């Protein structure tokens, strides 16, 4: 509030400070979980940043500020999924306050009160302030509006006061971060030689001929990779692999699915609601009060009528009741409240599309075929069968049925004009041309301008208490009779209705486990210090519509990488190395690319590429391969490489033509481009460097 006080003082107003206490709310599930301090966890730290221990209290205070701001801005409490994002924001805020602040202090960076005032009503006003205090008459920022707002801020609602305080509190840290990044960006300098090299990499061009044997030409099943080979590859590439803390679990789910009894209960309920809806004077209000799935309730065209009702259109009468219908786990009933005529027409039709390319010959061939099929239909052939045989779009297997269609609904103009100019039902006499080809069209329901108002009630079938209890009983029995991983597997074999799933490389702050949403409790259990490999969760986890029992099958710790940490990736790398050895051996002593390809076999491809530049990093018909492109520009015209392993296969490249970049006097354009590129990356690189230097340890998973 220092900024407000200073502005008011300079404005001649003596107005007291606004005090808002955000406090620490420690009564939520985040703190009272099984791993919490209150329930006995020995450690009170959620991590370490730049040598400072971060206590659960300090982190919770930061998180409560984030939650308060979220609720204040949105008017609602965050969901569990949104809380995961807020926890990340709170953690990053602590990194900013601690790790960055240490860097600011070393450099003597600070933000004065005068600077803060300047950001609100000075010469360097913050963009958010400019936007909020724009004079509507001039469409320009007006300082007087800011001053008047702050003079009367203590009369505003508490929410607005808190919002301003939050904004003011962010101004200083934002300016400090900007100063720091600007300072570091000034340390970046582009020399003339760098600019020249960039110019040459974009301008010099090469034409090449090359032989390419992709790795996939050798089946993976024919290459056997040993653990010793994986270990050797890892040792040769330690700088590319960093070990991390992960867990692997196997789990079984016990779905809470509605039973036949549950379905019967909801069927009886929807039938009773149908009686109430039929006699209701205000059917719209009755429907809105009793439905599980809100509906628009306005007038709809035939094309917008729910699919379930399509078969009953012929019986539509005002006040009529339709249903119950079942779709998935939902029962639906409808009351036709009103019918009226509109200016827009709907029609139901089917079509057969004969696709044509853009050439005259292609169009002529498609039209000829369309006319032949049209004559067969006029002669008595089934339109639907002809559509299944000759149709070339997604409607073919439905006999060409397009369903109900309303004018202006998205068909191309020529198709729509032909469709709505036809009266009655039946086959249009001639093929209709569109940008896609030629269409045979059959109107199956005549055009109408009727619109219908429906009162809709939908009831979602959910599991009853008995179903819920039975699912929990099975899950609890499974957990209670399973002591370890071996018993987990044995019990799975005994119950053929159960299926297990594996979740690999879970990370400490993951919120989901495969397709299981909001599964933090499972992740926290897996990372608990008390959970050992082979343990089975004695707690049955409840997630949405299912119970889960898990066993810990693997774990890795932060530090030196092991083969198990990256087995899948390492296996792919080693397999490609072994394939490259095989291919290279067969291509030894290449003296002619065409002859070598012929001798190798069908898997060897001979291609050419023109105007290749060093900056492109790609090669036509090969893809991204900076190694291959680099080797090209190490050749002289007429030279050829030996067989070498690229990103996706083995290549032999021959330079057929080289066009050097012409000398230019001024490289400033390329110098400016490079400088801009370096500047745009500053924020990311600075952030990564600060976090790396701070040696951050994140142990929030013990509490959240």
pLDDT per position as a tens digit, 309-348 = 888 888 899 999 999 999 989 999 999 999 999 888 999 9
Contact 550, 528 (CB under 8 A): no
Contact 60, 26 (CB under 8 A): yes
Confidence of residue 10 (pLDDT cuts 50, 70, 90): very low
Q: How many helices (H) and strands (E) does the chain have?
A: 22, 22
Predicted confidence at residue 496, as pLDDT, reads 84
CA angle centred on 162, ends 160 and 165, rounded to 5°: 110
Predicted confidence at residue 440, as pLDDT, reads 95
Instruction: Please state, rounded to an integer, the average pLDDT across all residues of the chain.
Output: 88
Element spanning 135, H or E: strand 134-135
Of 339, 310, 340, the closest CA to residue 403 belongs to 310
Confidence of residue 547 (pLDDT cuts 50, 70, 90): very high
Predicted confidence at residue 20, as pLDDT, reads 31
- Cα–Cα distance between 416 and 410 in angstroms, integer? 9
Confidence of residue 168 (pLDDT cuts 50, 70, 90): confident
DSSP state string for 246-259: EEEEEEEEEE----
Confidence of residue 486 (pLDDT cuts 50, 70, 90): very high
pTM recorded for the entire structure: 0.58
Contact 440, 501 (CB under 8 A): no
Across the range 92-100, mean pLDDT stands at 93
The model's pLDDT over 169-225, given as tens digits with 9 standing for 90+, comes to 888 889 999 999 999 988 888 999 999 999 999 999 999 999 999 999 999 999 999
Of 470, 474, 478, the closest CA to residue 536 belongs to 478
The model's pLDDT over 518-540, given as tens digits with 9 standing for 90+, comes to 899 999 999 998 999 999 999 89
Share of the chain above pLDDT 90, in %: 60
Beta bridge partners of 340: 451
Across the range 134-140, mean pLDDT stands at 87
Q: What is the CA radius of gyration of the chain?
A: 35
The model's pLDDT over 258-274, given as tens digits with 9 standing for 90+, comes to 989 999 999 999 999 99
Predicted confidence at residue 177, as pLDDT, reads 92
SS3 category, 603: coil
The model's pLDDT over 428-458, given as tens digits with 9 standing for 90+, comes to 999 999 999 999 999 998 898 988 999 999 9
CA angle centred on 478, ends 472 and 481, rounded to 5°: 135
Element spanning 432, H or E: strand 432-434
Predicted confidence at residue 33, as pLDDT, reads 45
205-228+566-659 CATH pick, 3.90.25, 1.10.3470, 3.10.50, 3.30.160: 3.10.50
Confidence of residue 43 (pLDDT cuts 50, 70, 90): low
- Cα–Cα distance between 267 and 309 in angstroms, integer? 18
Contact 98, 71 (CB under 8 A): no
pLDDT at 146 over 90: no
- Cα–Cα distance between 404 and 120 in angstroms, integer? 58
Predicted confidence at residue 272, as pLDDT, reads 94
Q: How many CB atoms lie within 10 A of CB 310?
A: 14
The model's pLDDT over 552-597, given as tens digits with 9 standing for 90+, comes to 998 888 877 888 888 889 999 999 999 999 999 999 888 899 999 9
Phi-psi region of 500 (alpha: psi -120 to 50; beta: other; left: phi over 0): beta
Predicted confidence at residue 23, as pLDDT, reads 36
pLDDT at 412 over 80: yes
pLDDT at 232 over 70: yes
Contact 422, 428 (CB under 8 A): yes
SS3 category, 537: coil
Predicted confidence at residue 415, as pLDDT, reads 93
Share of the chain above pLDDT 70, in %: 94
What is 258-462's CATH number?
A: 3.10.50.40
């Amino acid at each position: 509030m220092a900024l407000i006080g200073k502005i008011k003082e300079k404005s001649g107003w003596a107005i007291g400070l606004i005090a808002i206490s955000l406090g620490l709310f420690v009564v939520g599930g985040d703190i009272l979980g099984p791993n919490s301090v209150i329930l006995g966890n020995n450690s009170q730290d959620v991590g370490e940043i730049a040598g400072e221990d971060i206590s659960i209290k300090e982190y919770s205070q930061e998180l409560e500020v984030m939650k308060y701001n979220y609720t204040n801005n949105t008017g609602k409490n965050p969901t569990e999924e949104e809380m995961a994002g807020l926890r990340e924001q709170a953690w990053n805020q602590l990194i900013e306050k601690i790790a960055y602040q240490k860097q600011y202090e070393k450099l003597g960076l600070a933000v004065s009160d005068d600077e803060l005032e300047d950001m609100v009503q000075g010469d360097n006003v913050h963009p958010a302030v400019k936007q909020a205090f724009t004079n509507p008459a001039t469409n320009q920022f007006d300082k007087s509006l800011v001053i008047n707002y702050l003079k009367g801020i203590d009369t505003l609602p508490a929410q607005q006061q808190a919002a301003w305080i939050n904004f003011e509190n962010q101004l200083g840290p934002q300016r400090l971060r900007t100063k720091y990044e600007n300072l570091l960006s000034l340390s970046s300098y582009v020399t003339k030689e760098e600019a020249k090299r960039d110019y040459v990499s974009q301008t010099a061009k090469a034409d090449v001929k090359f032989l390419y044997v992709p790795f996939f030409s050798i089946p993976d099943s024919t290459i056997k990779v040993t653990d010793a080979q994986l270990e050797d590859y890892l040792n040769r590439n330690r700088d590319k692999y960093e070990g991390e803390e992960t867990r692997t679990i196997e789990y079984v789910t016990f779905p809470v699915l509605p039973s036949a009894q549950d379905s019967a209960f909801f069927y009886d309920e929807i039938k009773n609601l149908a009686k109430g809806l039929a006699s209701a004077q205000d059917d719209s209000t009755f429907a809105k009060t009793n439905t599980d799935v809100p509906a628009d309730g306005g007038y709809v065209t035939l094309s917008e009528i729910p699919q379930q009702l399509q078969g009953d259109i012929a019986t539509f009468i005002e006040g009529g009741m339709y249903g119950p219908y079942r779709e998935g786990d939902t029962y639906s009933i409808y009351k036709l409240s009103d019918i009226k005529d509109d200016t827009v027409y709907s029609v139901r039709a089917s079509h057969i599309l004969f696709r044509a390319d853009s050439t005259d010959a292609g169009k002529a061939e498609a039209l000829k075929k369309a006319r032949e099929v049209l004559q067969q239909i006029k002669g008595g052939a089934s339109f639907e069968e002809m559509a299944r045989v000759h149709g070339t779009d997604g409607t073919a297997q439905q006999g060409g049925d397009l369903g109900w269609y309303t004018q202006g609904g998205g068909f191309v103009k020529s198709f729509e004009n032909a469709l709505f100019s036809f009266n009655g039902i039946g086959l249009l006499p001639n093929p209709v041309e569109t940008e896609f080809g030629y269409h045979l069209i059959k109107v199956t329901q005549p055009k109408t301008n009727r619109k219908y108002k429906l009162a809709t009630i939908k009831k979602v079938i959910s599991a009853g208490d008995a179903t819920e209890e039975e699912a929990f009983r099975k899950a609890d029995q499974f957990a209670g009779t399973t002591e370890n991983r071996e018993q987990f597997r044995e019990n799975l074999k005994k119950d053929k209705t159960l299926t297990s799933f594996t979740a690999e490389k879970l990370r400490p702050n993951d919120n989901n486990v495969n397709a299981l949403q909001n599964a933090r409790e499972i992740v926290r259990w897996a990372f608990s210090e008390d959970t050992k490999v082979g343990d089975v969760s004695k707690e049955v986890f409840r997630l949405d519509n299912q119970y889960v029992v898990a066993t810990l099958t693997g774990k890795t710790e932060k530090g030196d990488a092991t083969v198990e940490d990256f087995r899948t990736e390492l296996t792919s790398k080693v397999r490609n190395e072994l394939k490259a050895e095989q291919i290279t051996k067969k291509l030894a002593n290449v003296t002619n690319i065409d002859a070598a390809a012929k001798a190798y076999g069908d898997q060897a491809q001979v291609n050419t590429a023109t105007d290749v530049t060093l900056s492109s990093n790609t090669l036509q018909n090969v893809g991204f391969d900076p190694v291959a492109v680099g080797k090209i520009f190490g050749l002289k015209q007429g030279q050829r490489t030996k067989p070498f392993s690229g990103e996706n296969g083995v290549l032999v490249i021959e330079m057929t033509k080289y066009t050097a970049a012409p000398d230019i006097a001024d490289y400033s354009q390329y110098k400016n481009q490079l400088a801009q590129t370096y500047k745009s990356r500053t924020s990311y690189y600075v952030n990564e460097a600060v976090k790396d230097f701070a040696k951050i340890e994140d142990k929030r998973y013990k509490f959240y």
